[in-house]
Every structure is written in C-alpha cells, then in structure tokens.
C-alpha cells in the first residue's frame, strides 16, 4: 500500500514538473525586436477623424500592383507617433481640414519588393503617372527608392489635407509619390519644375499649412516630399520592423484592443 502511495506521489511530482517546464518554456519565447508589434497601434483607433487612402494596398501606386506586406487597407504607427498625430488632427479640424493618410508603417517586406521592382528595367507600368521625367535606372542611385525606409521604423507618415468645406483633397501642386522636383516642399511659386506646371501661391500655401501643423506637434518634414513626415523623437530609430500590416499583428501581442482608445 505504501509502495503504491509513493509511486502515485512520484508520478504526480513528475507530471507537475513537466507542466512547470512547459509553462517556463512558453514564457521564455523571445520575439525578435523587428517582429515585435507591441508598441504599435492601428491609426484610426487613436485618430478616428482621418481619411484613409492606403495606396500600397491598391494598384494605384508607382508600381501598379498591391504591395506585399499590405494585408489590410489600414494604417499603423507607433503609439507615440499616433498620439502626436491626434494633436495635429485636432488642430487642423479647427481650421476646416481633415488628414488624409496614404501610408504609415511599411513592412520591410514591402521595401524589399520595391528594390526588386527597381532592378527590373522592363516593368514601367506606371511611369507616365509617377516618374515621367526619370529613367527608371536612376531611381535607386538618386534615392527615390532605398533598401531601408523610415516608414519601416514605424513613426513616419505620408499624408495630405482634405478640405471639409469643398469635400475635396487639397491641391498641393503635384500628386503623392511623384518622383521629381515638383514634390519638394520648398519649391517656390513660378519655379520651373520639369513635367509639372509651376506651382501656384495657393499650392505653396497649402503645403505650408500641412507642414506647420505637423511641425507644431513634433514631426519633421522631408526635403524631397511634401507629404512625408517623421516624428522627431521617434522611439525606434534603428529598428526596421517586419510584421505585416494587419490587425492580427497587433492582436497577437497580449493586451491590444481597439476598445482601449
């Protein structure tokens, strides 16, 4: 009887130790820094007033196809960038505008795809719309496309203004993602800018309204693209994230819920 008791007790101890071991193994799973989405949010959970036109989820972009890594037509940012953009949005709504978002966090997979596309000289489907002035071969040397993007660090946003009175996107003088001088935010009214007509004073003023609102709330502009801004004190200046653009990436991290916002 005692032997049976001790044998049973021993089996219970072994079983319990296995459970503890399994639990410890689960707890010790380490997520690579670039795959960790725990500090990101879906932008519309924080800034519900924005309008989304996620170009890389559609075919209307400089490649002409949906871009790998864009699994849903949403925008994601680091929590810090989203909180700052909420202040921008609140500021601009008082002026009669809303923010229209083209791109936010961009998975490294998408950037890699851009680089693959750039070396295919025959794939020029959207050239007439986005880079009519340039030979495709110069896009990488002139850094229109690069192996690393600030978007992949999670605190860079591409956006424009939407006029609530006219119910139209504000005219900035050239289209989003245009590769050329016309996209430079500091282009002056009347200045020769290649294939595009010179921008007007109104175009310039519109660019400055957007730039001022972004800079007032901690974003810095990019000198080659009027639509591109990065949080000045971005939380991950050296991390290029890899998780796909989908809510599932966030829900996989314990504790994320849109109801928190």
The rounded distance, in Å, linking the Cα atoms of 213 and 108 is 29
CA 169, distance to chain mean position in Å, is: 20
Q: Which of 169, 225, 234, 251 is catalytic?
A: 225
225 part of the active site: yes
Count Cβ atoms within 10 A of the Cβ of residue 87 and give its class: 0-12 exposed, 13-18 middle, 19 or more buried. middle
Cross-strand partners of 78: 40
Long-range contacts made by residues 62-65, C-beta under 8 angstroms, separation at least 24?
62/126, 62/129, 62/130, 62/131, 62/177, 62/179, 63/114, 63/117, 63/123, 63/125, 63/126, 64/125, 64/126
Question: Which residues are known to be catalytic?
Answer: 225
């Amino acid at each position: 009887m005692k032997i049976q008791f001790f044998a049973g007790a021993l089996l219970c101890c072994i079983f319990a130790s296995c459970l503890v071991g399994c639990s410890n193994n689960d707890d010790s799973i380490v997520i690579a820094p670039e795959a960790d989405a725990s500090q990101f949010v879906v932008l519309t959970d924080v800034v519900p007033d924005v309008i989304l036109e996620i170009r890389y989820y559609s075919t209307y972009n400089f490649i002409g196809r949906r871009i790998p890594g864009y699994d849903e037509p949403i925008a994601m940012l680091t929590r810090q960038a989203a909180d700052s953009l909420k202040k921008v949005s609140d500021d601009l709504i008082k002026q009669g505008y809303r923010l229209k978002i083209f791109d936010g966090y961009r998975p490294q997979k998408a950037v890699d795809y851009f680089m693959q596309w750039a070396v295919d000289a025959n794939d020029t489907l959207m050239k007439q719309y986005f880079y009519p002035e340039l030979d495709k071969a110069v896009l990488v040397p002139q850094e229109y496309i690069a192996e690393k993007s600030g978007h992949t660090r999670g605190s860079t946003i591409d956006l424009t203004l939407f006029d609530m009175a006219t119910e139209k996107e504000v005219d900035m003088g050239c289209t989003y993602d245009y590769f050329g001088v016309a996209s430079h935010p500091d282009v002056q009214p009347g200045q020769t800018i290649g294939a595009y007509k010179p921008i007007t004073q109104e175009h310039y003023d519109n660019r400055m309204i957007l730039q001022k609102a972004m800079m007032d709330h901690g974003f810095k502009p990019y000198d080659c693209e009027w639509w591109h801004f990065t949080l000045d004190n971005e939380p991950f200046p050296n991390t290029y994230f890899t998780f796909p653009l989908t809510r599932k990436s966030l829900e996989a991290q314990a504790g994320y819920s849109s109801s928190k916002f």
